[in-house]
Structure 1
Amino acid sequence: MSLVHLEAGAGEAIRLSMPAKESNRPIRIELHSTGCCDASLGLCLDDVREADLIYESDGLQFVMSPEIHQLAGDVTIACAHDQDKAGFVIKSAKPVSEWDGFGVCHIRT
């Protein structure tokens, strides 16, 4: 099972955006609200929880709750380099909103 697919350059961009002292922490794929739109998937540094699904890719450890995986399915993470959009774009196999894959997120610490 491949919970997380990283598009070209995404792994390196994730590593560069993480604080050095937290570079070994798992990256949680979570559901969050931006406050103005539908819920979307986001990223944050977190600890592994007992029921988590764990996936390693490009030397990074990703975690996701079984409930989020059931809701969203497998995810693809790309990095956005546009001057208007800098950060990460997360697309899910089962879109969580009509805006799935359009928003840019940053890794919360």
Structure 2
Amino acid sequence: MFTVTEKAQKEIKAFFQDKEIQPIRIFLNQSGCCGSQMVMSLDEKRDNDSTFKVDGIEYLIDRDLMKQAQPINVDYASKGFIVTSNLKFDSGCSSCGSGGSCG
């Protein structure tokens, strides 16, 4: 299952208001000292993608990731987009030496 909240969809449509609409990839970012997190980026469709179309916007998620992570939800808050899933991540911030300033 994949969902996009009304607030997130409104912000995404506003982003594309004066731009060509491109697919948005939801993926697992495993870089940085704060550990893994689900993020979004503009991308092109790949052979192993699950595709979800929401109000004219195409979202791409690797099929294997979708099987492991579903349900996936995209929301928007004052700090930006928030992608949540069934995956559980360990936070690396407590021991990375940054004093909790990750992100």
TM-score band w.r.t. shorter chain: 0.7 to 0.9
Larger Cα Rg: Structure 1 or Structure 2? 2
Q: List gaps (5 residues or longer) in structure 1.
A: 100-104
Please give the TM-score of this superposition, normalised by the length of structure 1. Answer: 0.72
Q: Which residue of structure 2 lines up, in the alignment, with residue 97 of structure 1?
A: 89
Letter of the 2:27 counterpart: E
Letter of the 1:89 counterpart: I
> How far does residue 18 in structure 1 lie from its aligned partner after superposition?
4.4
For the aligned residues, what is the CA RMSD?
Answer: 2.1
Please give the TM-score of this superposition, normalised by the length of structure 2. Answer: 0.76
Per-residue deviation, residues 42-97 of structure 1 (Å, max 9, x unmatched): 0000000112100111221101111211221121111012xxxx2111111x2241
Contact 1:32 1:42 (C-alpha < 8 Å) held by counterparts: yes
Quick check: 1:77 aligned with 2:69?
Answer: no
- Shift >2 Å, 4+ stretches: 15-22
Q: Which residue of structure 2 lines up, in the alignment, with residue 64 of structure 1?
A: 61
Identity of aligned residues (%): 25
Where do 1:24-35 residues align within 5 Å?
A: 24-35=21-32
Quick check: 1:6 aligned with 2:4?
Answer: yes
Aligned residues: 92
